[in-house]
Structure 1
Amino acid sequence: MRLFPILAAIIVSALIYVFVLERDLLTGGAAPEDNPEAATEATTTTQESETDTKTSLLPGVVVQRSKARQIDSAVILRGQTEADRQVEMRAETSGQVVSTPLRKGSFVEEGQDLCRLDPGTRAATQAEARARLLEAQSRLPEARARKPEAKARVAEAKARVEEAKSRLNEAQINENAAKRLSEDGFASDTRVAATEAAVRGAEAALVSAKAGLESARSGLESAAAGVEAAKAGIESARAAIAAADKEVERLTISAPFSGLLESDTAELGSLLQPGALCATVIQLDPIILVGFVTETEVGRVALGARAGAELASGLRAEGTVTFLSRSADSTTRTFRVEIEVPNPDLAIRDGQTAEILIAADGQAAHLLPQSVLTLNDEGDLGVRIVTESQETQFVPVTLLRDTPDGVWLSGLPDEADVIVIGQEYVTDGVRVQAAYTEGAK
């Protein structure tokens, strides 16, 4: 009974030995030692199998191969429209309005009367000022005529001074001669006294002549002052006329430029005091688009650059940059930008919200889905790409423009394999198994 199990075990052992250890003999093949090529193929197959096994263990990502393209860059701002010019016309003098009012919304031409005030007695003031001018002008010839007379008197006084000096010299000579003769006994004391008296009289005459000269000179100065006073009177009269004319001119308040009335003009019969509002006039052609550019982008904006805008109403407009502030706003640290836009039909109104695009120098950029954007540990915005060694790498980028087809990004190489699916599950330096999207080259 025990013999059968023993034989069965021996037979099974023999069959296992034949099928496992002597397989090549049964199939007619050679042993590995006798067939080196077969051994090499078996080894290569084993290595490829191991490599496939390792590759299948790498994380898989979807990659899009992107090439940079040159695009027209633009600076995007939020702003509003402003009237090119706006002014509040106010009264400079007091008076009652005597003109029919114009209604708001009316178009007025440059120089058109907006408000006229009652002149009152201002016409009489003008006439009085002109009369004073005529009076002042009549005094000038008389003052000028006195000047030659004064000059003649000065010349006459000078001649008298010279005459007095001559008589004094003569008297002094006679006095000296009389004194010498008296010493020798040839002249009496009476003659000496007479010559001394003559000297004193000559001295007095000289003093009197000099006083006359000073008086004549004072008369000449007075005549000159009279001429200047007459001229001053003329200038004063002319100033009074100018003031009266200006006062009359202020009675009419006119439009300084062509535009629209933003308010009714002052009502007929109302009393305006200096500073009272007559009307508000605005000019909408051209109209100004106003925006504020940040410190980081102000260098990309240039005077004369083309710009476009889309208003909240859907209306589009184009113009050029005419002003870029050199001083930043102290609160927002932004710079004011003004764009002049033609508005001949006055379709664009003052104060409308606008999205402004200012053309800037073009640059190379990649158009990629917005979903590729991610953040690194430092919080920098960027994308992850696959390098030639099939490893991931984070690259910081700059968002240039957002479009319905994706976002335009700068900062990447000219050609880049960008991970579009799976970028959030890998870090830098990780080897991945990349699968390219359709259309990637």
Structure 2
Amino acid sequence: MSATNKALGLFERKPYILAMILTVILVGWMASGSLQSKEVAAKNESKHETKLPKVEVTSFEASSISRSIELYGRTEPERSLKLSAELDGRVAEILVIEGQSVKKGQAIVKLAIDDRIEQIEFAKAVVEQREIEYAGMKSLSEKGLQGQSLLAQAKAALVSAKANLRQSEIMLEKSTIRAPYSGVLDEQNIELGSFVNKGQVMFTLIDLNPLIVSANVTESHIAKLDLNTKVVVKMVDGSTVKGRMSYLASVSDKGTNTFPVEIEIDNPNQRLRAGVSTEISLLFDNELAIKVTPALLSLDQLGNLG
């Protein structure tokens, strides 16, 4: 009898053994299906998780910043004056040469006085004579011995003599050319012994304290400025100095539509020079802001920043 027949005979005699085997097989099959469903669910869940976007979170804190407008300008003297001779004469002395600083009222050039002192002495003598004549006429007039017409003539003669004296003194004063204000001499046009005519320019006197910085502001920025705007000026040597707004134009330049502005810089030692390029920073009040890298920003189809 073969093994198969033996097994069939056994199942016929003891059917409960077949039932037990079938039960074990059924339980195993159901268990394997449950494991497979769990694996599929785990795989699906894993696939779902990988689709979620990754994000990075960074905390930012606002900090105080100072906003400013940057301009380019040029230094200029506060004022410039051509020193001219007020009378004809020969240059007798040059007391200060070009490039040197002078104080207000300081003598710069002396012209030959020639006979001006003698003219003053003569004018003084004439005045003295006219005073005596007028006093005598006045005394006679008070006694009724002299008419009012002669008294008036004597008074006119005295006034004329005093005027001539003052004119002689003024001519002597004008023979010495003095600085009308403190500054630096520039452009010397005379030499010792040369003859100058009335109105001839001898020196240029420039005032470098304060020093003026001229610049131009665009029409979009001019409304933000006033005379109290804080200013810092950077010179060509890298040094920085504080300035103050002294002038804001009310009308723009027709060619550029920019508004001229002027800034004053204190220059007591006249160390800073005119005609030098500068960088100007017009400073505004501090405000809170957060620095964000442009890589985090984008534009939508409507151009909105996000």
TM-score computed with the length of structure 1 as normaliser? 0.51
1:427 to 296, 301, 304: 301
Residue 157 of structure 2: SS of its match in structure 1? Answer: helix
Identify the residue that residue 286 of structure 2 maps to in structure 1: 362
The answer to whether residue 72 in structure 2 is matched with residue 78 in structure 1 is yes
Tell me the alpha carbon deviations over residues 190-239 of structure 1, each in whole angstroms, 9 at most, x when there is no partner: xxxxxxxxxxxxxxxxxxxxxxxxxxxxx8xx51x444443333322222
Shift of 1:319: 2.5
Identify the residue that residue 244 of structure 2 maps to in structure 1: 321
Partners in 1 of 2:96 and 2:152 — Cα distance? 51
Change (3 A) 1:296 1:234: farther
Partners in 2 of 1:123 and 1:329 — Cα distance? 56
Tell me the alpha carbon deviations over residues 62-95 of structure 1, each in whole angstroms, 9 at most, x when there is no partner: 9987654332233322111223443321111111
Partners in 1 of 2:253 and 2:140 — Cα distance? 69
Identify the residue that residue 132 of structure 2 maps to in structure 1: 138
Amino acid at match of 1:427: Q
The answer to whether residue 213 in structure 2 is matched with residue 289 in structure 1 is yes
Identify the residue that residue 166 of structure 2 maps to in structure 1: 242
Partners in 2 of 1:96 and 1:308 — Cα distance? 48
Tell me the alpha carbon deviations over residues 373-417 of structure 1, each in whole angstroms, 9 at most, x when there is no partner: xxxxxxxxxxxxxxxxxxxxxxxxxxxxxxxxxxxxxxxxxxxxx
Identify the residue that residue 266 of structure 2 maps to in structure 1: 341
Amino acid at match of 2:139: A
Amino acid at match of 1:319: K
Partners in 1 of 2:73 and 2:264 — Cα distance? 11
Shift of 1:368: 4.0
Pairwise CA RMSD: 4.0
Change (3 A) 1:146 1:368: farther
Q: Is the 8 A contact 1:61 1:423 kept in 2?
A: no
TM-score computed with the length of structure 2 as normaliser? 0.70
Shift of 1:269: 1.5
Equivalences for residues 66-215 of structure 1 within 5 A: 68-100=62-94, 102-150=96-144
Identify the residue that residue 256 of structure 1 maps to in structure 2: 180
Shift of 1:25: 5.4
Larger Rg over CA atoms: 1
Amino acid at match of 2:263: E
Partners in 2 of 1:80 and 1:137 — Cα distance? 61
Shift of 1:118: 1.5
Tell me the alpha carbon deviations over residues 89-143 of structure 1, each in whole angstroms, 9 at most, x when there is no partner: 1111111111147443234444333221112333343233323322332232233
Equivalences for residues 291-440 of structure 1 within 5 A: 291-303=215-227, 305-314=229-238, 316-321=239-244, 323-325=246-248, 327-331=250-254, 332-342=257-267, 344=269, 346-369=270-293, 372=294, 420=295, 423=298, 426-428=300-302
Tell me the alpha carbon deviations over residues 4-24 of structure 1, each in whole angstroms, 9 at most, x when there is no partner: xxxxxxxxxxxxxxxxxxxx9
Partners in 2 of 1:278 and 1:328 — Cα distance? 37
Identify the residue that residue 157 of structure 2 maps to in structure 1: 233
Which consecutive residues of structure 2, in runs of 5 or more, have no partner in the other structure? 1-28
Report % sequence identity: 22
Partners in 2 of 1:286 and 1:67 — Cα distance? 43
Residue 241 of structure 1: SS of its match in structure 2? Answer: helix
Change (3 A) 1:137 1:304: farther
Shift of 1:360: 2.2
Change (3 A) 1:230 1:72: farther
Count residues in correspondence. 271
Change (3 A) 1:108 1:429: closer
Shift of 1:343: 5.0
Amino acid at match of 1:278: M
Change (3 A) 1:235 1:358: farther
Amino acid at match of 1:136: R
Q: Is the 8 A contact 1:305 1:358 kept in 2?
A: yes
Partners in 2 of 1:97 and 1:119 — Cα distance? 10
Change (3 A) 1:339 1:142: same
Amino acid at match of 2:155: K
Change (3 A) 1:255 1:62: farther
Amino acid at match of 1:235: V
Q: Is the 8 A contact 2:131 2:158 kept in 1?
A: yes
Identify the residue that residue 276 of structure 1 maps to in structure 2: 200
Change (3 A) 1:97 1:63: farther
Amino acid at match of 2:191: E
